[in-house]
Amino acid sequence: MLSRIGLAGLAVMGQNLALNIAEKGFPISVYNRTVAKVDETVARAASEGGLPLFGHRSPQDFVLSISRPRSIVILVKAGAPVDQTIDTLSRYLEPGDAIIDGGNEWYENTERRIREASARGLLYLGMGVSGGEDGARNGPSLMPGGSHQAYDNIENILTRIAAQVDDGPCVTFVGEGGAGNFVKMVHNGIEYGDMQLISEAYDVLRIVGGLSNAELAETFAEWNRGELESFLIEITADIFGVRDEHGDGELVDKILDKTGMKGTGKWTVQQAAELSIAAPTIAASLDSRYLSGLKEEREAAAKTLEQAGISSADFATFRSVDKKRLIDDVRQALYASKICSYAQGMNLLKSKSAEKGWNLNLGELARIWKGGCIIRARFLDRIKKAYERNRGLANLIVDPEFAKEMVQRQAAWRRVVGLAIEAGISTPGMCASLAYFDTYRRARLPANLVQAQRDYFGAHTYERVDRPGSFHTEWSKIARQGRAGTGIRS
């Protein structure tokens, strides 16, 4: 009997996704370059109740074991390994068969592979898969883009293996070309923002509020029962409770403060810059990761600046702060900051969609992120509804419901940021979000002065508020005459 689908690449993601597919009753063939992983996966399938999963040691046997038109998911390291895997498998594929790359791939690589596959009569999907190991095994959020036919061929599988939420499975056909990978990339950028904002909330509560790990665990668990309910808040509450098995106290305090990264956050910020979309919260989270990496330099800087006379803030003075009120303020600051961060991610998607003609449905994307993925959160339902109310919404901040929430939270938000600045605790994500909000909501900015400067030194011209056209002024000449007239000397 032939398998319904195949999967090549049996590391963390591939192995778990294959077991998920088999568990849903779809017979699946699996293959991996190193055969030990094939044996491992087959053994797992047997131990998990004899799931219909069939291992193959040769690429030819693997491909020929799948019913036509074939659908083969690839889950190998992004980049060259994907090309090599495609090369290996496509020798045995036939026109009409489809390749589905489930890795975190750069969207332009997918677009190139779509063209190459098409020249061989093959269909191609670039499918973002989020949720890590657990998501892959028990229900990820899936973001497939590329060939609609390739999607149709496996839609019944994808809708069964994806996370299920109140309004359906967390999968939708995202759009043509590299749309699926691009959406996954922005998802990861938003994830960077969320994690940064949560770490800032932790820092303020810990340093300014003096909260213990037990109190932090309780606070985050409480937050997870309200508007901040999300996977990341939930796991954060858990983290504070984990004891260090090698010593006293909790493990979180023993972890080196140096953040790793794999590149999707950087791509998001690069794309934002390419498209002239402001994404300051996501950029701040990326910068914070870079600065965290300079551990030795930061330690040296701390010493140098102490010797130069910087006084470490006397945090005891902040302890007069009402703890309960601080916790409530930080909750509100985190929520408002998050809205700004999602607004930036969504606007990046909107802009790319317009450039590429992907016709992305932002409300539907918020829906498929409600379950399975790392940024899954209660408030994504509100984002979905905001875009349902107005598909062309300029910015989440001006959706009437979010606008009301931002206004309700802004006093607390400003108190938290103010307190952090006073205490010398950097909150780059919260500050970036607040600056984004304060910039976006102002009808008049000091950009008039920047325009004047540009025209002064570069004759770049400017527009006026009171009449149409493009203007240039001989600024230095007039200023010199003015100084001469007033007696001011330069």
Residue nearest to ligand NBP (CB): 103
Among 5, 10, 186, 393, binds ligand NBP (CB under 6 A): 10
Between 61 and 133, whose beta carbon lies closer to ligand NBP? Answer: 133
Residue in the structure block whose two tokens are 């992120």: 369
Among 84, 149, 359, 481, binds ligand NBP (CB under 6 A): 84
Residue in the structure block whose two tokens are 């677009």: 111
At residue 198, what are phi and psi to the nearest 5 degrees?
-65, -40
Contact 241, 217 (CB under 8 A): yes
Residue in the structure block whose two tokens are 């930061």: 298
Strands 141-146, 164-165: pairing kind: unpaired
Whether the bond between 69 and the residue before it is cis, its omega within 30 degrees of 0, is: yes
* 10 in a known ligand binding site: yes
Residues 130-189 close enough to bind ligand NBP by CB under 6 A? 130, 132-133
* 14 in a known ligand binding site: yes
**CB 126 → ligand NBP: shortest distance, Å?**
11
- Round to whole Å and give the CA distance between 98 and 155: 13
Contact 231, 170 (CB under 8 A): no
Among 22, 76, 179, 377, binds ligand NBP (CB under 6 A): 76
* 330 in a known ligand binding site: no
User: Where does this chain touch ligand NBP (CB under 6 A) — which range of 69-77, 151-159, 290-298, 469-477?
Assistant: 69-77
Q: How far is CA 153 from CA 96, 100, 159, 174, in A?
A: 10, 11, 12, 15
Q: Which residues pair with 129 in a beta bridge?
A: 142
Residues 194-223 close enough to bind ligand NBP by CB under 6 A? none
Among 104, 109, 147, 361, binds ligand NBP (CB under 6 A): 104
* 68 in a known ligand binding site: no
If one asks whether residue 359 binds ligand NBP (CB under 6 A), the answer comes out as no
- Catalytic annotation, pick one of 111, 191, 200, 250: 191
* 34 in a known ligand binding site: yes
If one asks whether residue 14 binds ligand NBP (CB under 6 A), the answer comes out as yes
* 92 in a known ligand binding site: no
- Catalytic annotation, pick one of 37, 184, 350, 370: 184
Site residue total, ligand NBP (CB under 6 A): 23
Among 69, 81, 168, 241, binds ligand NBP (CB under 6 A): 81
> Is 116 among the catalytic positions?
no
Q: What DSSP string runs through 201-243?
A: HHHIIIIIS---HHHHHHHHHHHTTTTT-BHHHHHHHHHHTPB
> Is 191 among the catalytic positions?
yes
Mention every residue, 6+ apart, whose C-beta is less than 8 A from residue 10.
Answer: 18, 30, 31, 32, 37, 38, 40, 41, 75
Mention every residue, 6+ apart, whose C-beta is less than 8 A from residue 327.
Answer: 205, 209, 211, 219
Is the four-CA dihedral 241, 243, 244, 248 of positive or negative sign?
A: positive
Burial 395-428 (b: 16+ CB within 10 A, else e): bbbebeebeebbeebbebbebbbebbeebebebb
**CB 130 → ligand NBP: shortest distance, Å?**
6
Among 52, 64, 69, 77, binds ligand NBP (CB under 6 A): 77
Among 45, 129, 165, 380, binds ligand NBP (CB under 6 A): 129
- Round to whole Å and give the CA distance between 110 and 480: 58
Mention every residue, 6+ apart, whose C-beta is less than 8 A from residue 138.
Answer: 20, 163
Structure tokens, 155: 């839609």
Nearest 5°: the CA angle 407, 411, 417 is: 120
**CB 187 → ligand NBP: shortest distance, Å?**
10
Among 64, 78, 239, 321, binds ligand NBP (CB under 6 A): 78
If one asks whether residue 353 binds ligand NBP (CB under 6 A), the answer comes out as no
Among 103, 280, 345, 363, binds ligand NBP (CB under 6 A): 103
Residues 19-48 close enough to bind ligand NBP by CB under 6 A? 32-34, 37
Residues with active-site annotation: 184, 191
Annotated binding site for NADP(+): 9-14, 32-34, 76-78, 104
Q: Summarize as ranges the residues that interact with ligand NBP (CB under 6 A).
A: 9-14, 32-34, 37, 75-78, 81, 84-85, 103-104, 129-130, 132-133
Annotated binding site for substrate: 104, 130-132, 187-188, 192, 262, 289, 454, 460
